[in-house]
Structure 1
Amino acid sequence: MSKSERMHPGVWALAVTAFAIGVAEFIVVGVLPAIADDLGVTVATAGSLVGLYALALAVGTPILVIAAGRIPRKALLFALVSVFLAGNLISAFASSYEILLAGRILTAVAHGSFFAIGATVAARLSPPGQASRAIAAMFAGLTLAMVIGVPMGSLIGNELGWRLPFFGVVALAAVGLLAIALWVPKQPREADVSAAQQLKALKTLPVLVMMSITILGFGASFAAFTFITPILTDETGFSSGTASLLLIVFGVATLVGNLMGGRWAAHYGWARTLRIMLAGVAVVMVAMALGMSNQYVMVPLLFAWGVLAFGMSPGFQTGMLETAERWSPKAVAFTSALNISAFNLGITLGEHSGSALVEQGLIVLTPWAGLALAALAQLPLFWLAARHRRSGTVNNPAMASA
């Protein structure tokens, strides 16, 4: 690997912290019954720890990024990880549902802001034209958490108590703090920009269009993925144990896709990469809808699905950074935060689309909902890519660095 392609160690420091954040975000799902039993609430009430986490992340992230706009980037990252650590410590010692929820909300806001700021820092630490690869490396920590951290944390939490995984996240966050202190160089603070100037990004059409691409494109997979376990067991006929193993296969595919998606976006440009991968997701959704009852079809489809669905993440974030640099240069970090919110709004949109079908007993139709969202995402992508082409800033990998 040439020196120009070598990843800056600061990017790996961000990836270490992203791994801890990924475990913290998804671990509740694996120990939900244990939490409900211990705190004396229903499983449905405990389940709101997931939904309210996403809501706090989507709403709180842009607000915090604006409020912290004048803090130097390295110091801000260090502060965010410290808040994340504190939130998980509160969760680990929580004696009631309300205290646990408070810890989760604190964790969520730090989570979203870390990725918003971290993406801009990773892009700055990358060689010219390699921003998408650096962002993918950071997001790889998140996807790796799905493959290793969450299954291991769930196993430990269900055997030895649900609090133990939260203490594990605290330890991982401490490692992240050390890595940031050692490997992330000092970053200049953003130019003094008022909150009003940053909020103008919400009136910038290309920024809003890029958000819609992320919401529709990322959300396309969650209409079916939210219900993937009952699909695999009730419709495809796998045992629950086999379904769990297949989810690990899906998790490995998301890691592969994230890393490959970063390379493709750096080589081909984020717009072209997203266009092709969205088409791929659409094909997978059709194949899944038609072959849902065939076990031999579903296994390779799950892998292809994971590669495509999460392989788009670097392209979404790189596309927002490039769009912000072109049309909202005074609010790059804020628009990055908006796109982190868009990822979570996409999850919500996909889940609601799938839930509406499942409530009618139509779980077999959830892939068609995903197909519709993936197809719709192509429309704003076509418009935004055309705008970039007219300005000379798209499909040119050299422009991928922020």
Structure 2
Amino acid sequence: MTGVVPVPGDAPTSTAGPVLVIGTGLIGASVALALRERGTEVWLQDRDPEALSVAVERGAGLPRPAAGEPALVIVAVPPAAAPSVVIEVLRSTVNATVSDVVSTKARLQREIETSGLDASAIARFVPGHPMAGREVSGPAAARADLFADRVWALTPSAATDLTRTRQVAALVESLGAVPVITSPDEHDRAVALTSHTPQVVASTVAAGLADLGDTGVRLSGQGLRDVTRLAASDPGLWAEILASNAEPVAGALDSLIDRLAAVRDGLRAGEAGAAAVRTSLEAGVVGHRRVPGKHGAAPVTWAVVAVSVADRPGELGRLFADAGATGVNLEDVRIEHAQGRPTGLVELEVSPESASSLADGLRTTGWDVRF
């Protein structure tokens, strides 16, 4: 996100409890699990007793007690419910810092600031959005490491107390995430393109498979799995998210439709349109180079050493052990499963200067290496 800067380094380094987590879905329960792992007292609240029960059973915390005020509240409810919940928490607490995990910020911020709350209450609200998630939902899918090394946007307004922002930044850092500060509007424009549009694209591409016969689906490769992975996400939740960021998403889709139309028109023009198609594909290469690389650093082109691996217990572990014995650092790993055969192709990404050493080392231990 353009203009995003790290939270000041003098933010506290620990999070004092108790922390109240309202909403025990994937994100809320993951926040709670991560805090409990670090010894923070966590209270849980959810209007769904079954979700609350699962979160408690998983060790995410204890139900909110009848008395007592938390030091910090994380509101982890769907976008449509978030404003009323945040407002109620700010009205019912005296000194608690309040944050949220809603994936759009401008609309929520406007509703809080026009709610009639007094300035001291509004100053306690630090809007947030962890750039993490999974295509599965609910407390059973929660993970304590969900936020490790992920960006967590904070969008405090001019009305937000700086001390409160630092307190939330401390919580974010305690979860292993990287807090960054941006404005609500800039955040929403960015996620419209980087998060919300990919979800729409994944869902619409996957929707097209309904009209494809079984034989056609079997002709798919890893590219289809990569593009459609997000399509398994909760449609109800995503409908709310998109509605809460409607205009920025609509604008991003307008731009995408224009780019798709340029490719479509180029294809229909035959040879005369070949240059336009190539230009569109080249623009994609340029854009892909802007996607942050490992640990958020500049992207790097790795060499790929592909290894055929039998689909049986222990084989991946043996492969990684043999790769480690070569002394070559694995930068990334991808697995493509063969259709109709009990094997998979494991693509090991390494620095170009290390690829030959890795390939040779694995061959000497009997692996079928494609390099």
**Range class of TM-score, shorter chain:** under 0.3
> Which one has more relative contact order, counting CA pairs under 8 Å at least 6 apart?
1
For the pair shown, which has the larger CA radius of gyration, 1 or 2? 2
Structure-1-length-normalised TM-score? 0.23
Q: Which has the higher helix share?
A: 1
Q: Which has the higher strand share?
A: 2
